[in-house]
Amino acid sequence: MSTLTTDPLASGIPRQGIYRILVCRPNHRLGNMLLMTPLIAELERLYKGAEIDIVAEGPLAADVFATFFSVKNVYCLPRRGFKHPVSFLALIARIRKTHYDLIVDPCVGSGFSRTLARIFRGRYKLGFDDAEKQPRGLTHVVPSSMAPRHMARRPVALVRWHALQAQNESLAFPAMDIRLTEGERASGKAFIHDLLAESPPHDAGRTIGIFADATGNKRYSTEWWNEFLAMLQALSPQSRFVEIVPAHGRSMLDSRWPSYYSSHIRRMGAVMSAVDLMISADCGVMHLAVASQVPTVGMFCVTDENVYGPYGTRSTSLSTRDISAQDAAANVVKAFPDLFGASSAASAALPPSSGENIHPFPFPKGKGGR
């Protein structure tokens, strides 16, 4: 194993000769898998022609990366592998048969992903760690203090740290993207057209998707959503709403609006890609909307939007900690004047303070940092 280094100028990872890459992200949550899509895009840029394998947990990652040309294998470890020792160990042994040129542990503070990076075979092993401590199975370390705040930026900054950059390279961060095909997008568009065929036509109307579920105290009540949507409808009466129904198969909005349900995340993404705006609580489906390339508003009442906010062009987070549902709706309208129309009823109805809680998420440039 190579000598541990944290200095990118002292011993960088070469751009040539890296053909087999393994990314260790053993997690089953949809949002965490989607937040890895910028990393795969960055690895494709840095190591053109390389083949990428991904270690995940549960079945969702296979759908997320289904259309990534560079991704060969998505190894889906069984959830709670200690309860399935035979299949778990068999898959670990299968992965160990390949000797990788680069193994990436993109997590900060995950003992499981670090353990996997240690036991798999690789020439270079890269991850976040504290430089003062002894290395834990890595050849190249990035100090944890240099990890950017947002979860989508962290792995990109990690692989850039030791990569030898060519001159005049763009350092804009990649967007989240599940790379929906033209056929998937066309199917989503056709479905939305058929779903709203019986709705009153509005030449200037917009279609707004709503996902009203989340886990634990990130979830807003049905009453909150009803107040929010009543205000949004009053401010923009020409808009039409579509509810995206959660995985448990029950409407969160009392089935008041046309709705779509699917347990297949790419179909969900295709349908969401056909609306003009998605509004969602902080959850995996919020990230799926962003990765489907639709403008998205993420509602935050508990978690830090600077860490988990929607990360994509024209997407934004809205902190609702100290505002009412009606004020939240007014903030959304003000944040998207091109969608709701400068001459709509919203223009005259917006309160003077509206907009203070909305936070567009810019794409930074540079090597990393907070």
Average pLDDT per consecutive 10 residues, the chain (370 residues; last block may be shorter): 48 90 95 96 96 95 97 91 83 95 92 91 92 72 90 94 70 92 98 88 78 94 96 93 96 95 97 97 96 96 92 90 94 91 51 53 43
For residue 367, the model assigns a pLDDT of 42
Six token digits for residue 358: 């909305």
Evaluate the CA torsion angle 190, 191, 197, 201 in order and state its sign. negative
DSSP code for 219: P
Coil, strand or helix at 200: coil
For residue 9, the model assigns a pLDDT of 41
DSSP code for 65: T
**What are the E-state strand segments in the chain?**
20-24, 51-57, 71-77, 99-105, 121-129, 140-143, 207-211, 240-244, 259-260, 277-281, 296-300, 316-319, 358-360
Q: Model-level pTM?
A: 0.89
| Burial class, 354, CB count within 10 angstroms (exposed 0-12 / middle 13-18 / buried 19+) | buried
For residue 204, the model assigns a pLDDT of 55
Torsion of CA 139, 101, 70, 289, to 10 degrees: -10
For residue 346, the model assigns a pLDDT of 47
Q: What is the largest CA-CA distance in the chain?
A: 68
For residue 305, the model assigns a pLDDT of 92
Instruction: Please count the other Cβ atoms lying within 10 Å of the Cβ belonging to residue 368.
Output: 18
For residue 203, the model assigns a pLDDT of 57
Domains of the chain plus CATH, in order, are 20-161 (3.40.50.2000), 182-360 (3.40.50.2000)
For residue 277, the model assigns a pLDDT of 97
